[in-house]
Structure formats: C-alpha cells, structure tokens
Amino acid sequence: MDKIKVGLVTFSNNANYGGSLQEFASYYLLNKEYDCKCINYQDELALSLLKPIRVGFLIKMFMVAKELLGIGRKKKTRDEKPFPAVTKHRITFDLKTIRTLVLEFFNRIYLMLKDILQYPIRKRLINNYKAFWEQYLVRTRPYTEEELLSGLCEKFDVYISGSDQIWNPFYVGLSPIYYLAFSPDKAKRVSFAPSFGNFKYNDIQLNNGIREYLSRFSYITVREDKSVQDLKEHIGIDVTTMLDPTLMLDRNDWIEALSINENVKPIKGYVLVYALSDRHKLNQIGRMVGEKLGLDTYIMDMPGLFTSKACKYFPDISPREFVEKLLHASFVVTNSFHGTAFSVNFNIPFYFVISNTPERQKSLLKFVGLEDRTINKNVKGVTLQPIVFEKANKVLSAKRMYDKASLDSAIFGRQAAEEGVVTE
C-alpha cells in the first residue's frame, strides 16, 4: 500500500533557529512513517526576515496599526468550501501589550542597525539557513496565500498545522493558511502542537473565527497547558497538549538525524547564551556563570553595537550547528522557548531567564519539574545549584511515546479504519 501523503504547514523560510528546527523535527518525524512534504507557503512576514537587513518589524507594526484601527482585508476563499473570512476584528491592546510592543520596536531598530554594520555576517547566516533547508527538508514548490486559497496546492491525504506560534493572531492575524482553510473538503486536518503564545481571547468576533476554523479539524493538539484552558473557556473546544516537535526527538535522535559526531568536542567547555530579547542582560548573566565555572562565554548571535571583550560569538552558524553547539555546551543561559527545550532535552545545565512572554517556557518547566531553573533578569548574582534530569527524562520519554502514538492514530489509524485496512 502506498504511504499516506502528508502536507505540513508551519513557519517555513523562517530565519530563526527554533522555528527552523521545529519544522525539521516535524518533517523528520512524519517522514519516517508517511510521505511528507513541507508546504512552501510564502509568508510575507517570514520572508521579510530572510532579507540581509531585517525589516520584518515594519510589516509587523503595519499589521498592529491595522488591528488598532479596525482595518481588515477580505480573504479570498474557494467557492466550494466556505471557510470563514474573518476580516474586521480588533485585538484589545492593554498597557502591558503596548509596553511590550514599544520595547520590541526599539529592539528591532537595534537589530536593523546590527544588520547594517555586520552585513557580510548576516549574508552568510542567511545562506547557511537556506543550505540547511535545501539539505534536510523536502518542500513543495512555493505558494502564495492567493494560490493556496485558489486550490492550486498539490494534493495530500492529510494536512497538518505544525508547531510554533502559527495560531497566535497577535503575530500572524487569523491566517486561513495556518488553519488549513485551503485544504480540500474531504481531507483530514490535524494540528501538531501549534501555539497561541500569549494571546488574550478578548474579542468575540475573533474567537468566533477561531472556533469555526477549529471545528473543521479531526484532531487538535496545542503546545501549552494555557492554550488548553483558554480554548475550553473562550472557544468551547476541548483539546489536549502535545510536545513541541523538537522534544519529540530525543538526544540520540538529533545526533542521528543531523549526523553529528558527538565525539568531536571542544577541548574546553563553554557557557552558551541564546537570547531573543534583553540581550545585554542575558550576556551579563552568561559572563557571571562563565566566571564562576572558569569557562569562556559564547553568544549565539552577531556581535552587538557595544560588544564585550569578555564574550565570544557564534555569529553565523546554521541550524545544524546550533544543535551541535548546544550538545557541546557546559551551561546554557536563555530566554527562548527552544533554547530551554533543547537544554532540557540534551540534559545541559541551564537557566531560563524570565522574559516578557514566559508562558511557554513556564509550561514546559512545570511539566518536567524544573521550575527552579527560572531566574529573574534583574538578578544581581547567580548561584550554580546542581540540576538532576532524571525526572525530566522519564516524563519526556513517557509523553513522547504517548504523543507519537496519538499522532499516528490521528493520521493513520482512523484513515485505515475508514478504508478497511487492518493495522496492528
């Protein structure tokens, strides 16, 4: 019997280590059992971040301005499949959200200045991302939103909404693509641990749109406990959690999948800092940890405008090298979800430095019993308490097995039953 054809939709062309690696992990896991392809959706925001100078924040600010003004644009949908065209919705912006946006605005201005000053490094980084995608993923041809909604995508038996914050209206709007509105009527729709991030369900019309999109899925999982509670309370839909795809592969899986030679290690260990915001503060904490351990501190980033001679940099490494550097690190300081997830998965001692949107990281650390690895970014000093991963490893292993079986059942088990195929 031919393999079931699976089409995976997530943030493609995303020049972000976590985003790229969750796409790879999803594809790698699915392609072991099914004929999987990543649907190469040309998301305008993601593509903007592939430019040598990151102007994506301009698009983001434009999207936010549209929300504040209540301006929307009509989504073109296929005549034979009346998915909701939620066009005019407003997200309520409280003071905390506005403060976060202002901080993000200045952070993005800073990143653009770095891109200009470090242009050759930025170009190499982008080329390394592209080479990684070319080597490790199988994708469809590129599709615009209009092409997908017009039914031009190649056909699959099952369509899957992948992980990351693809369902966060604050970042991408109520995207019909990430909710699989372009898939044929009879196709099966499954979600693989997408995230709503820190989204607040405070708009009835927007909630109604989410409800109607999700009503067409045959199987729904999300990444965080908070989303399970919110969807039940505000949308009236019961869902369950599933591990982020990067956690569905264990340490040995990653070594095998990316052909990493675990025996080729640095002569001396190092502290690794991976920050998505508050870079100066995390670099400072990383240096503190490095001094206590007698190790060099490496920053997973391009050198900043005001660099410290106390730090070294991994400025333009590929997603594969990102995993390799994490595997070999002696300690990790991060405020990123995926920086935290990989540290737990690889049993690397770490600190999660509290961020502006910590819900995803807190949910993961609570699940694996490592909440004590959270520290405040205003910390004046750090104490290096030992970390025991035994419980985390057992919890992840059990959840990993359960989630893989659930995903297989959603994709294959029910389809097999419908077709009269007997499976063991």
- DSSP string of 323-384? HHHHHH-SEEEE-SHHHHHHHHHHT--EEEEP-SS-HHHHHHHHHHT-GGGEE-TT-S----
Same domain, 378 and 411: no
70: left (phi over 0), alpha (psi -120 to 50) or beta: left
Same domain, 86 and 107: yes
Is position 48 within any domain?
yes
Q: Which residues contact 209 (CB under 8 A, 6 or more apart)?
A: 84, 86, 89, 174
* Closest to 365 measured CA to CA, from 245, 208, 225: 225
Kindly report the average pLDDT of the chain as a whole number. 85
At residue 218, the pLDDT reads 94
Same domain, 236 and 261: no
Same domain, 32 and 155: yes
Mean pLDDT, to the nearest integer, of 65-74?
51
By percentage, how much of the chain surpasses pLDDT 90? 60
Specify the range with the lowest mean pLDDT, choosing from 2-11, 94-103, 136-145.
Answer: 94-103
pLDDT at 338 over 80: yes
Give me the CATH number covering residue 262.
3.40.50.2000
Token pair in block for residue 355: 């961020």
Q: Of 82 and 400, which is predicted with more confidence?
A: 400
DSSP-assigned letter for residue 104: H
Q: Of 62 and 75, which is predicted with more confidence?
A: 62
At residue 86, the pLDDT reads 43
Is position 424 within any domain?
no
Same domain, 177 and 72: yes
pLDDT at 313 over 80: yes
pLDDT category of residue 114 using cuts at 50, 70 and 90:
confident
Is position 154 within any domain?
yes
236: left (phi over 0), alpha (psi -120 to 50) or beta: left
At residue 386, the pLDDT reads 84
pLDDT at 81 over 50: no
pLDDT at 79 over 80: no
pLDDT category of residue 123 using cuts at 50, 70 and 90:
very high
Q: Of 407 and 66, which is predicted with more confidence?
A: 407
Mean pLDDT, to the nearest integer, of 333-353?
96
Same domain, 241 and 260: no
Token pair in block for residue 7: 């089409």
Token pair in block for residue 42: 């040309």
By percentage, how much of the chain surpasses pLDDT 70? 83
pLDDT in tens, 369-424: 999 999 987 666 567 888 999 999 999 999 999 999 999 999 976 443 344 333 32
Is position 89 within any domain?
yes
pLDDT category of residue 55 using cuts at 50, 70 and 90:
confident
Do 356 and 277 touch, CB atoms closer than 8 A? yes
At residue 100, the pLDDT reads 66
Split into its structural domains, the chain has a count of 2
Same domain, 127 and 270: no
pLDDT category of residue 210 using cuts at 50, 70 and 90:
very high
Mean pLDDT, to the nearest integer, of 319-339?
96
At residue 199, the pLDDT reads 86
Is position 393 within any domain?
no
Q: pTM for this one?
A: 0.86
* Closest to 16 measured CA to CA, from 250, 277, 345, 359: 277
Is position 344 within any domain?
yes
Alpha carbon 278 to chain centroid distance? 19
Same domain, 370 and 413: no
Mean pLDDT, to the nearest integer, of 91-120?
73
pLDDT at 17 over 60: yes
pLDDT in tens, 212-245: 999 999 999 999 899 999 999 999 999 999 999 9
Same domain, 328 and 405: no
Specify the range with the lowest mean pLDDT, choosing from 25-29, 254-258, 298-302.
Answer: 298-302
At residue 36, the pLDDT reads 97
At residue 84, the pLDDT reads 46
Is position 361 within any domain?
yes
Is position 394 within any domain?
no
Its domain, for residue 170, covers 5-249+400-419
At residue 380, the pLDDT reads 65
Helix H or strand E encompassing 312? strand 311-313
Q: Which residues contact 14 (CB under 8 A, 6 or more apart)?
A: 20, 23, 46, 49, 164
